[in-house]
């Protein structure tokens, strides 16, 4: 009798283990927020990227085929440093990569990035390591119609589809730019909300989440408050939007625009890089781009300014503005610049650091880095990437895509019940 009972017990235990294993397997499939689209317009967006190894500024830029200066300004790194494009950035540094988000096959994504394969690359190493989980091996295989992933030719030019969202450039009707963020093992949704000056509810709404649970490797869309532009349609940089706490370079490296910290009004001025530029003086005035004049009168303060109005046909467009304000504005404030980082602060590896902009370190302090906590430990890569465009349409997140865990918990529950009744 006791023998029979224990055989039954072990059979059930085995079953239980198998079910638990099933949970393990199904649980690691992760997802990204997908925005359906129909128009052909594009927008500015950001990718949250953690360096997989030490890389020069120019190497990171070429990995994503973007302008190295734009990479630096997006991360509020001082571009006046000598030879800054050849500066070596440390492994595990977290950077915001500025990209153009397009509408392809009905969903928002960026398809302007290509990667040339090198010896010993595999689809997984390209996806999980080199591109930090922003793309999955499956997405690479699909996008490049690779039938046999085990044979990658060296020098093969792969398109790297990258996740992005526009959501009309707004969040709760306020200007915002969206960061595609790969969830790291230590992240919680609440900590991410705090780090990016938003709320848990807002993140859950944006990502259409039913709960605040997130998994490693999930890709979230994080809205960052931003300064919107209002350039005419025909301007090459129409729709320029600059996230709070950073800069953008435009007009052929002639104009530098900033956003924050005091208000979210876009402020642009001459970039003073060594390039030849068209006139940056406002017509019928002696004001230059970015100049502001104030005149205190009895009725208030007369504020005049020469503003940037876009780049069209190689010409820097300017607009003179005049207004009467209750009080005269103080001098323009700028987001603090940091020196090109050489180390990843230890604290940021183990705990979610505050935003680089909120730690109040003075300009050019090398310690105030652009590293809001990559959660990855040395050598540990997220095991899994997102599943690509699985659904047609709606944005979804982990918990919604995964009906199986619920099913399996129910199964476990009934098995446990069964087992208890057997033993008794
Ligand atoms: C769960 O999955 C991980 C990797 O996906 C594996 O290393 C581990 O052994 C699995 N655990 C069980 C109980 O199967
Ligand atoms: C899109 O954003 C603009 C402002 O940038 C706003 O006027 C418009 O109502 C928004 N459209 C939708 C559908 O939210
Ligand atoms: C106007 O802007 C130019 C370029 O930024 C600057 O060199 C100059 O000092 C400014 N003049 C005034 C009066 O603010
Ligand atoms: C740009 O230049 C072309 C020809 O040089 C002209 O046809 C076009 O109207 C110009 N566009 C603007 C916005 O000035
Ligand atoms: C912009 O960033 C600064 C810190 O750099 C922060 O104090 C401010 O609240 C932010 N503004 C918005 C609207 O999030």
Where do the structural domains in the chain lie, given as residue ranges? 4-27+402-423, 30-226+337-366+374-399
- Ligand 4 pocket, 236 CB below 6 A? no
Say if residues 355 and 195 touch (Cβ distance below 8 Å): yes
Q: How far apart are CA 256 and CA 74, in angstroms?
A: 11
Say if residues 400 and 374 touch (Cβ distance below 8 Å): no
Q: How far apart are CA 330 and CA 308, in angstroms?
A: 20
Name which of 187, 190, 225, 205 is nearest 30 in CA terms: 187
Q: State yes or no: pLDDT of 305 exceeds 60.
A: yes
Residue entry with tokens 């129910």 = 410
Question: Which mutation among 288, 294, 303, 304 tests ligand 3's pocket best, with the greatest number of atoms within 8 A of CB?
Answer: 288
Helices 403-423 and 2-27: crossing angle, nearest 10°? 170
Q: State yes or no: pLDDT of 371 exceeds 90.
A: no
CA of 273 relative to ligand 4 center, distance in Å: 26
Q: Give per-residue pLDDT as tens, 182-215.
A: 999 999 999 999 999 999 999 999 999 999 999 9
Q: Rounded mean pLDDT of 33-38?
A: 92
Q: State yes or no: pLDDT of 29 exceeds 60.
A: no
- Ligand 3 pocket, 288 CB below 6 A? yes
| Alpha helices per DSSP H over 144-289 | 189-195, 200-206
Which pLDDT band holds residue 28 (cuts at 50, 70, 90)?
very low
**Nearest ligand, CA 259:** 5
Residue 97 sits at the vertex; the CA angle it makes with 92 and 102, to the nearest 5 degrees, is: 140
- Ligand 3 pocket, 269 CB below 6 A? yes
Which pLDDT band holds residue 270 (cuts at 50, 70, 90)?
very high
Question: For the chain, what's the residue count?
Answer: 424
Question: Which mutation among 18, 23, 24, 185 tests ligand 1's pocket best, with the greatest number of atoms within 8 A of CB?
Answer: 24
Q: Which ligand 3 atom sits nearest the alpha carbon of residue 269?
A: 5
Which whole-number Å values give the CA distances from 129 to 90, 214, 241, 269, in the listed order? Answer: 15, 20, 29, 38
pLDDT at 278: 93
Which whole-number Å values give the CA distances from 29 to 19, 32, 175, 384, 406, in the listed order? Answer: 16, 11, 32, 7, 15
Selected residue with higher pLDDT from 369 and 255: 255
Q: Rounded mean pLDDT of 123-127?
A: 96
Q: Give per-residue pLDDT as tens, 390-415.
A: 232 333 333 333 334 434 444 445 55
Q: Rounded mean pLDDT of 137-166?
A: 94
Mean pLDDT, the chain, rounded, equals 81
Which pLDDT band holds residue 11 (cuts at 50, 70, 90)?
low
| Alpha helices per DSSP H over 52-199 | 57-64, 68-74, 123-124, 137-143, 189-195
Say if residues 107 and 166 touch (Cβ distance below 8 Å): no
pLDDT at 422: 56
Question: Which mutation among 313, 314, 315, 317 tests ligand 4's pocket best, with the greatest number of atoms within 8 A of CB?
Answer: 313
- Ligand 2 pocket, 172 CB below 6 A? no
CA-CA-CA-CA torsion for 359, 93, 160, 116, nearest 10 degrees?
150
Burial class (CB in 10 A: 0-12, 13-18, 19+), 322: exposed
Q: Rounded mean pLDDT of 58-65?
A: 98
Nearest CA to ligand 2 atom 10: 168
CA of 317 relative to ligand 4 center, distance in Å: 13
Q: Rounded mean pLDDT of 296-312?
A: 94
Q: Which H or E run includes 24?
A: helix 2-27
- Ligand 4 pocket, 314 CB below 6 A? no
Residue entry with tokens 């087992």 = 419
Q: Tell me how crowded residue 321 is: count the other CB atoms within 10 A of its CB.
A: 12
Return the minimum-mean-pLDDT range out of 132-141, 168-177, 344-353: 344-353
Selected residue with higher pLDDT from 228 and 22: 228
Q: How far apart are CA 48 and CA 245, in angstroms?
A: 15
Selected residue with higher pLDDT from 229 and 421: 229
């Amino acid at each position: 009798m006791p023998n029979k009972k224990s055989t039954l017990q072990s059979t059930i235990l085995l079953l239980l283990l198998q079910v638990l294993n099933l949970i393990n397997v199904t649980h690691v499939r992760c997802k990204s927020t997908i925005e359906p689209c129909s128009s052909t317009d594009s927008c500015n967006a950001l990718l949250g990227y953690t360096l997989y190894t030490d890389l020069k500024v120019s190497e990171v830029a070429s990995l994503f085929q973007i302008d190295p200066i734009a990479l630096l300004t997006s991360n509020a790194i001082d571009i006046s440093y000598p030879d800054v494009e050849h500066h070596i950035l440390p492994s595990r540094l977290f950077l915001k990569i500025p990209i153009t988000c397009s509408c392809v096959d009905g969903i928002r994504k960026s398809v302007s990035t290509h990667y040339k394969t090198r010896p010993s690359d595999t689809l997984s190493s390209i996806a999980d390591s080199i591109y930090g989980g922003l793309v999955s091996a499956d997405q690479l295989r699909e996008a490049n119609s690779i039938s046999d992933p085990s044979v990658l030719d060296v020098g093969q030019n792969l398109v790297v589809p990258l996740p992005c969202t526009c959501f009309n450039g707004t969040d709760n009707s306020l200007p915002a730019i969206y960061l595609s963020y790969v969830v790291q093992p230590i992240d919680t949704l609440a900590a991410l909300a705090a780090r990016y000056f938003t709320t848990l509810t807002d993140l859950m709404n944006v990502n259409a989440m039913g709960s605040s649970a997130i998994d490693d490797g999930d890709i979230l869309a994080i809205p960052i408050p931003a300064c919107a532009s209002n350039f005419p349609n025909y301007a090459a940089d129409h729709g320029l939007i600059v996230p709070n706490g950073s800069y953008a370079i435009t007009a052929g490296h002639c104009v530098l625009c900033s956003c924050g910290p005091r208000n979210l009004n876009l402020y642009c001025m001459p970039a003073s890089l060594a390039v030849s530029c068209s006139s940056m003086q406002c017509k019928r005035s002696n004001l230059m781009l970015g100049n502001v004049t104030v005149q205190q009168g009895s009725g208030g303060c007369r504020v005049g300014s020469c503003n940037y109005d876009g780049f069209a046909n190689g010409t820097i467009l300017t607009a003179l503005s005049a207004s009467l304000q209750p009080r005269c504005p103080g001098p323009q404030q700028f987001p603090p610049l940091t020196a090109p980082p050489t180390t990843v602060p230890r604290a940021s590896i183990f705990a979610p650091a505050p935003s680089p902009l909120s730690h109040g370190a003075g300009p050019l302090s090398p310690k105030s880095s652009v590293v809001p906590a990559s959660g990855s430990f040395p050598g540990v890569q997220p095991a899994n990437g997102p599943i690509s465009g699985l659904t047609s349409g709606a944005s979804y997140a982990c918990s919604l895509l995964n009906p199986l865990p619920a099913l399996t918990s129910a199964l476990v529950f009934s098995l446990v019940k069964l087992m208890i009744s057997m033993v008794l």
